[in-house]
Amino acid sequence: MLLENYAEGKWVAGTSGLRDLRDSVTGKVVAQTSSAGLDFGSMLEHARMVGGANLRNYGFHDRAYMLKALASYMMARKEELYELSYSTGATRSDSWIDIEGGFMTLFAVSGKARREMPDGSPDGSSASKNVFVDGGLEPLSRGGTFMGQHIAMPLQGAAVHINAYNFPVWGALEKFGPAFIAGVPTIIKPASDGSYLTEAIVRMMVESDILPKGAVQLICGSTGDLLDYVTCQDVISFTGSASTAQVLRSKPNIIGNSTRFIAEQDSLNGCVLGLDAAPGTAEFDLFIKEVASEISVKAGQKCTAIRRAMVPHKFMDAAVKALSERLATISIGNPREKSTRMGALAGMGQRADVLEKLGVLSAENPIVIGNADKFTKGNGAYLEPIVMRCDNPLEKTNVHSVEAFGPVSTLMGYVDTEEAVTLLQKGGGSLVASVFSYNGGFTRDLVMGASAFHGRMLISDRTSASESTGHGSPLPNLVHGGPGRAGGGEEMGGVRGVMHYMQRTAIQGSPSVIANITGEWIPGAQARKTKTHPFRRIYKDLHIGDQLHTKSRKVTLNDIELFANSTGDTFYAHMNAEAAKANPFFEDRVAHGYLLLSWAAGLFVSPDPGPVLANTGLNNLAFMTPVYAGDEIKVQLTVKRKKRRTEDYGEVGWDVEITNQNDDVCARYELLTMVAFEDT
């Protein structure tokens, strides 16, 4: 099939220079691709002016619901992707990671956005729909009339995603999701090998008619002069080799505009078998299982694959034997066969590259498992798992600097914890490291010593093994990236990934000015006192800043004692006047903080059935001024923020301020309630 590019809202075939893409198993041409004739500058302008403008017409939650719908739409059409994926050399289980794993990242980032990001403009206005409040208020004046707040807003450019060949679906979607939530349109550029899978998912995106116009474009082929047109508002996210990343990030236009460049590079990821994890322990078995899996899944073509496995010298012979026995059970062959557990590499060119790197590595350390010459005939890009042994890794260099991006790994001996840490560090920065040990001191020391060199660290033991996602599984709610050789970038990580496509800005002004920008009420901002009790209003009729002032209630010594006796909280400051006065915080017996919360609820509640469905919690509770017998308390209840939850109800955050007869603030917190969309 002739792959097409999706540019400026149209499917366009390349005009010349077609490249053949071959089946990794049969060697037959399965697709042709070219991007010749595309106007890359116009594509970027279309993304900014059409895609960006359309996306920013929606709020974070609107886009999150679109992403969820898109993931469901594509999940229902997954089988055609599985069939295409066989041509990449991937087995069904390999493709599950790529295809359904990619869809799950969209579901996950959609859920994180709906839980942790604001709902845009819940009152129907457009002013604050794309404002993300980043952190708390910063008081800047004594009287509270001048303060600061960090906010984040969508960049007004395009996200250029340059992806690797090993995960043509997941690699595209794990980048697309966060950019889409942020409100930034995406230009997807897959590696040519396997790009027929990426083209298929982009066709699904377009055909779904879920996404706003201009939200996504696709380049199948060379990027040409695309990067010559990027600006300070664009973001480039790259996955691949360190050498390619260096060439791209050093382009004068990128440097001159300080264009954001996120790199996730292949790295020499390590794992460590603990000093306590002797043969026969659960941790030893987990180590062998994980190393074998990382060598064979996707034929070892994972950026997170284990390339260096550290083993105590005393366990080395047992580890070689156990790993050899486990790898011997893995059947290699046509991925379309159900009995096959390991398929082919991405192509003969990739196989040749792996063998070249293997030659460099094996010249330094002997091969103890596998035969690189086993698959030498035929068109299939097969390679048996290869494991080398290095008994003196501190004296070697290539094992810490050369990566064969395939089913290749090295077992390295170590003496003690300090040496294991040193070996992990010698990778020069990695995406992930794992530790297999049941000794808390050992795992703590490994993490303390090596975490600065890794983006993620997995501690695996008998306690978590049954539910662990394993060494090589980046998760959408955790960051994926690493320092140094790994590229120094970050992807995913829930809302952290969304922030890569937004600009953090500090705003300064009065409480009312800041509240007007963020769409969240803050103390000191203008409010609207209402005659109708807010608990009598359905969700849409509640507005940010709606405020209720309650009557007051006097606290007596008898109230304090009744509360103490009924709850069992007879702390001395509530019951013993002499002891309370000796406390530097109190002048006399003090009312319980939770008595104040209970009374506050009694003061502001509307008891009859209505749209308020449930009180689901409170946030940021703080007690400021003690309340003594004879004091009177009252409550100011203000609608602080709103967030949709389902088709039937939404969450309302209320600012609750408890004050005494002198208007001193005694306590403040945020109350959460679920409020129906329709009156009950």
pTM value? Answer: 0.89
Quote the mean pLDDT of the chain.
92
264 is annotated as an active-site residue: yes
* Cα–Cα distance list, 421 to 309, 409, 453 (Å): 12, 18, 10
Amino acid present at 488: G
For the chain, the helix, strand and coil percentages under 3-state DSSP, each to the nearest 5:
35, 25, 40
Averaged pLDDT, 440-454: 94
Region for residue 186 given its phi and psi (left: phi exceeds 0; alpha: psi -120 to 50; beta: otherwise): beta
* Cα–Cα distance list, 650 to 639, 674, 678 (Å): 13, 6, 11
Residue 125 has pLDDT above 80, yes or no: no
Domain ranges of the chain: 4-119+134-266+496-503, 269-483, 527-676
Residue 247 has pLDDT above 70, yes or no: yes
- Angle made by CA atoms 266, 268, 274, in degrees to the nearest 5: 140
Region for residue 271 given its phi and psi (left: phi exceeds 0; alpha: psi -120 to 50; beta: otherwise): beta
pLDDT tier, 127 (very low <50, low <70, confident <90, very high otherwise): low
Marked catalytic residue, from 4, 100, 264, 657? 264
Return the pLDDT at 1: 80
Could you tell me how many residues make up the chain? Answer: 680
DSSP 8-state code for residue 394: G
Residue 570 has pLDDT above 90, yes or no: yes
Topology of domain 269-483 in CATH is Aldehyde Dehydrogenase; Chain A, domain 2 (3.40.309)
Using DSSP's 3-state secondary structure scheme, residue 148 falls into strand
Return the pLDDT at 474: 87
DSSP 8-state code for residue 453: G
141: burial class by Cβ within 10 Å (0-12, 13-18, 19+)?
exposed
Do 452 and 483 meet the contact criterion of CB atoms below 8 Å apart?
A: yes
pLDDT tens digits, 265-282:
888 999 999 999 999 999
DSSP, residue by residue, 207-236: HHT-SPTTSEEE--S--TTGGGG--TT-EE
Which residues share a beta bridge with 633? 553
207 is annotated as an active-site residue: no
pLDDT tier, 654 (very low <50, low <70, confident <90, very high otherwise): very high
Residue 378 has pLDDT above 80, yes or no: no
CATH 3.40.605.10 fits 4-119+134-266+496-503, yes or no: yes
The structural architecture, per CATH, of the domain 527-676 is Roll (3.10)
- For residue 632, give every residue at least 6 positions away whose Cβ sits within 8 Å of its Cβ, in sequence order, or none: 552, 553, 554, 555, 660, 661
Residue 362 has pLDDT above 90, yes or no: yes
Return the pLDDT at 51: 96
Retrieve residue 444's tokens: 């703590």
Nearest one of 183, 141, 135 to 506, comparing CA atoms: 135
pLDDT tier, 591 (very low <50, low <70, confident <90, very high otherwise): very high
Do 186 and 172 meet the contact criterion of CB atoms below 8 Å apart?
A: no
Cα 571–chain centre separation: 44
Nearest one of 539, 541, 509 to 526, comparing CA atoms: 509
pLDDT tens digits, 186-236:
999 999 889 999 999 999 999 999 999 999 999 998 999 999 999 999 999
Using DSSP's 3-state secondary structure scheme, residue 268 falls into coil
Marked catalytic residue, from 4, 174, 220, 303? 303
Do 615 and 652 meet the contact criterion of CB atoms below 8 Å apart?
A: no
Phi, psi of 46, rounded to the nearest 5 degrees = -60, -40
CA distance 578 to 560: 16
Averaged pLDDT, 104-123: 86
Averaged pLDDT, 674-678: 89
CA distance 155 to 179: 10
CA distance 175 to 188: 9
Sign of CA dihedral 345, 33, 192, 86: negative
* Cα–Cα distance list, 403 to 103, 344, 350, 407, 583 (Å): 29, 18, 13, 11, 64
Return the pLDDT at 377: 66
DSSP, residue by residue, 434-487: EEE-S-HHHHHHHHHHHGGGEEEEEEE-TTTTTT---TT---TTSEEEESGGG-
- For residue 598, give every residue at least 6 positions away whose Cβ sits within 8 Å of its Cβ, in sequence order, or none: 563
CA distance 517 to 133: 10
Q: Do domains 4-119+134-266+496-503 and 527-676 have the same CATH topology?
A: no
